[in-house]
Amino acid sequence: MSIRLYIGNLPKEEIDKSELQEVFAEEGSSITTKLIKDRKTGKCRGFGFMTVNNDEQADQIIEKYNGLMFKDSPIKLEKALPRSKNGEEGEEQPLSPQTSNTPAPTPVASGSSNVGGASKKAKKSRRGGGGSKDTSSVGVSSSSSDGGVHPDPRWAAELEKLKQMLAAQTTN
């Protein structure tokens, strides 16, 4: 059974796959490396992957090469996490910081001068889907399967605070 290893802390410059392969050349030709590059620039994104034959060989390679200098950077080797659902290599889904069962707060339109409620102009959206969407300062993720707007979980706590502040202003 083959084992994937994560190769991190690679320099973010133009690196050829063969340069990385040469570092691990003495381990044999059964080792394959994959360098993850930026699609636009073609430069290394700072990490890559290596596939080895078995768990024992993976442990030996980690022991031997972890911290080895490669182009003035000490490389970091560890066993790779399983691939994410979207099929992108190296793009792991972050864990949601929101652990409570409270519903996600609704996004608040910023820049609205009408404190009692959003103006009619702010409610209309030219993108379709209705509702007020100001994704520039609120941290709202609009990429969902149901077409609705859901707050980015990284900003959920801040959005809840803003919602409470707005509610306090409208009651005064």
pLDDT recorded at residue 154: 77
pLDDT band for 6, please (50, 70, 90 cuts).
very high
pLDDT recorded at residue 45: 92
Q: Is residue 81 a contact partner of residue 28, using CB atoms and an 8 Å limit?
A: no
- Would you say the pTM of this structure is higher than 0.75? no
Query: Is 131 or 82 the better-scoring residue by pLDDT?
Result: 82
Please check the confidence at residue 82 and state whether its pLDDT lies above 60. yes
pLDDT recorded at residue 127: 60
pLDDT recorded at residue 14: 82
Query: Quick one: tokens of 88?
Result: 């992108």
- Alpha carbon distance 144, 141 (integer Å): 8
Torsion over CA: 42, 25, 75, 3 (sign): positive
pLDDT recorded at residue 144: 47
pLDDT recorded at residue 13: 84
Q: Which domains does the chain have, with CATH numbers?
A: 3-79 (3.30.70.330), 120-171 (no CATH)
Please check the confidence at residue 139 and state whether its pLDDT lies above 80. no
Please check the confidence at residue 39 and state whether its pLDDT lies above 80. yes
Q: Phi and psi at residue 91, in whole multiples of 5°?
A: -100, 85
pLDDT band for 95, please (50, 70, 90 cuts).
very low
pLDDT band for 9, please (50, 70, 90 cuts).
very high
